[in-house]
């Protein structure tokens, strides 16, 4: 549900689909929706809906296949956690290249680093997320005003 917050404006016109769109967001879906727009002639609500639906189906199918394969082919997974870190770094770099406003990225990095130092590696995640949400909400009106756009409710 947390991923749904930045997408509220995008999902507003999706009608009844917006509940599924907000609750169906995964990291991959969020990244795809942030980086793409519906092609000309395609309804944006349905475009977002089918990306979310297909990603959810891929998650379920991939999890089921992974569970079966994992039980049949045991192997050492030492170091595989690096793949997830690399995925998030690649997504982060892609977002930096695509966006003109890099303030959210700076807030994310600085807030995470500060909370890591203050709370330690085992307890920094929730305070870092809370700090980022508070700062982004506080600065949202100012960033939008600086671009000359109206502040949406």
Interatomic CA distance for residues 52 and 29, integer angstroms: 6
Q: Which residue has the higher pLDDT, 41 or 94?
A: 41
Question: Is pLDDT at 153 greater than 50 in this prediction?
Answer: no
Query: Confidence class of residue 148 from pLDDT cuts 50, 70 and 90?
Result: very low
Residue of 9, 37, 11, 39 lying closest to 25 (CA atoms): 11
pLDDT at 2 (0 to 100): 59
Q: Which residue has the higher pLDDT, 117 or 89?
A: 117
76-88: per-residue pLDDT in tens?
777 888 888 888 8
The token duo for 6 is: 């930045």
Interatomic CA distance for residues 115 and 6, integer angstroms: 22
Classify burial at 115, counting beta carbons within 10 Å of its beta carbon; exposed 0-12, middle 13-18, buried 19 or more.
buried
Specify the pTM: 0.53
Please state the rounded mean pLDDT for residues 8-21.
83
Question: Is pLDDT at 131 greater than 90 in this prediction?
Answer: yes
Cα pseudo-dihedral 53, 58, 59, 64, rounded to 10: 130
For residue 91, CA distances in Å to 27, 28, 55, 80, 85 come to 9, 9, 16, 18, 10
Dihedral of alpha carbons 78, 82, 87, 90, sign: negative
Question: Is pLDDT at 53 greater than 70 in this prediction?
Answer: yes
Question: Is pLDDT at 52 greater than 70 in this prediction?
Answer: yes
pLDDT at 99 (0 to 100): 73
Q: Which residue has the higher pLDDT, 120 or 31?
A: 120
Interatomic CA distance for residues 98 and 78, integer angstroms: 33
106-120: per-residue pLDDT in tens?
888 899 999 999 999
Query: Confidence class of residue 141 from pLDDT cuts 50, 70 and 90?
Result: low
pLDDT at 79 (0 to 100): 80
* 96 phi and psi angles, rounded to 5 deg: -65, -40
In the chain the beta strands, taken as DSSP E runs, fall at none
């Amino acid at each position: 549900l947390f991923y749904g917050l930045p997408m509220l404006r995008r999902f507003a016109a999706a009608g009844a689909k917006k509940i599924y769109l907000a609750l169906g967001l995964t990291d991959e879906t969020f990244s795809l929706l942030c980086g793409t727009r519906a092609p000309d002639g395609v309804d944006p609500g349905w475009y977002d809906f089918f990306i979310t639906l297909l990603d959810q189906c891929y998650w379920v199918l991939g999890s089921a296949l992974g569970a079966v394969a994992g039980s049949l082919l045991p192997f050492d997974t030492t170091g595989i956690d690096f793949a997830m870190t690399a995925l998030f770094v690649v997504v982060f770099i892609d977002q930096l290249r695509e966006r003109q406003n890099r303030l959210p990225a700076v807030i994310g990095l600085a807030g995470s680093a500060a909370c890591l130092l203050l709370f330690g590696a085992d307890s920094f995640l929730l305070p870092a997320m809370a700090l980022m949400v508070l700062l982004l909400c506080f600065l949202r009106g100012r960033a939008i005003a600086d671009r000359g756009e109206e502040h949406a409710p």
